[in-house]
Amino acid sequence: MWTYIARRAIQASFTLLIITVLCFILTRFGSADPMAQYANNPNMSAADKEALRERLGLNAPLPVQYFKWLGLALQGDLGISFFSKQPVGEMIAQRLPNTVILMFTTEIVTVSIALLLGIISAVKQYSATDNVITAFSFIGFSMPIFFSALGLMLIFAVKFKEWGLPYMPTGADVWDKKDPLEYIQHMVLPVSALVIVQVAGYARFVRSSLLEVLGLDYIRTARAKGLTSRVVLFKHALRNAALPLVTIVGLDIPFLLGGAIVTESVFAWPGMGRLFWEYAQRGDFPVVLGVLLIISTAVVIFTIITDVLYTLVDPRIQFT
* Residues in contact with other proteins by the rule CB under 8 A: 14-16, 18-19, 22-23, 26-27, 29-32, 138-139, 141-144, 146-147, 150-151, 153-154, 157-159, 162, 170, 172, 254-255, 258-259, 261-262, 265-266, 276-277, 280, 283, 288, 291-292, 295-296, 299-300, 303
Query: Which CB sits closer to other proteins, 110 or 263?
Result: 263
Q: How many angstroms separate the CA atoms of 105 and 97, rounded?
A: 12
Query: Which CB sits closer to other proteins, 222 or 271?
Result: 271
Find out whether 268 and 171 touch, Cβ atoms under 8 Å: yes
Closest approach of other proteins to the CB of residue 198, in Å: 14
Closest approach of other proteins to the CB of residue 231, in Å: 30
Classify burial at 258, counting beta carbons within 10 Å of its beta carbon; exposed 0-12, middle 13-18, buried 19 or more: buried
Q: How many angstroms separate the CA atoms of 80 and 57, rounded?
A: 12
Query: Which CB sits closer to other proteins, 233 or 276?
Result: 276
Closest approach of other proteins to the CB of residue 143, in Å: 5
DSSP element (H, E) containing 92: helix 88-123
Query: Which CB sits closer to other proteins, 162 or 176?
Result: 162
H-type alpha helices, 153-284: 160-162, 180-214, 217-224, 229-231, 238-259, 261-266, 272-282
Closest approach of other proteins to the CB of residue 270, in Å: 18
Closest approach of other proteins to the CB of residue 30, in Å: 3
Q: What is the dihedral of CA 257, 96, 148, 289, to 10 degrees?
A: -60
Find out whether 78 and 72 touch, Cβ atoms under 8 Å: yes
Query: Which CB sits closer to other proteins, 98 or 134?
Result: 134
Query: Which CB sits closer to other proteins, 250 or 258?
Result: 258
Closest approach of other proteins to the CB of residue 182, in Å: 19
Query: Which CB sits closer to other proteins, 143 or 308?
Result: 143
DSSP element (H, E) containing 68: helix 62-74
Q: How many angstroms separate the CA atoms of 256 and 103, rounded?
A: 6
Find out whether 285 and 4 touch, Cβ atoms under 8 Å: no
Question: Computed from CA positions of residues 189, 193, 198, 204, in that sequence, does the dihedral angle turn out positive or negative?
Answer: positive
| Rg of the Cα atoms in the chain | 25
Closest approach of other proteins to the CB of residue 16, in Å: 8
Closest approach of other proteins to the CB of residue 195, in Å: 17
Query: Which CB sits closer to other proteins, 122 or 242?
Result: 122
Find out whether 257 and 103 touch, Cβ atoms under 8 Å: yes
Q: How many angstroms separate the CA atoms of 168 and 164, rounded?
A: 12
Query: Which CB sits closer to other proteins, 198 or 296?
Result: 296
| For the chain, the helix, strand and coil percentages under 3-state DSSP, each to the nearest 5 | 75, 0, 20
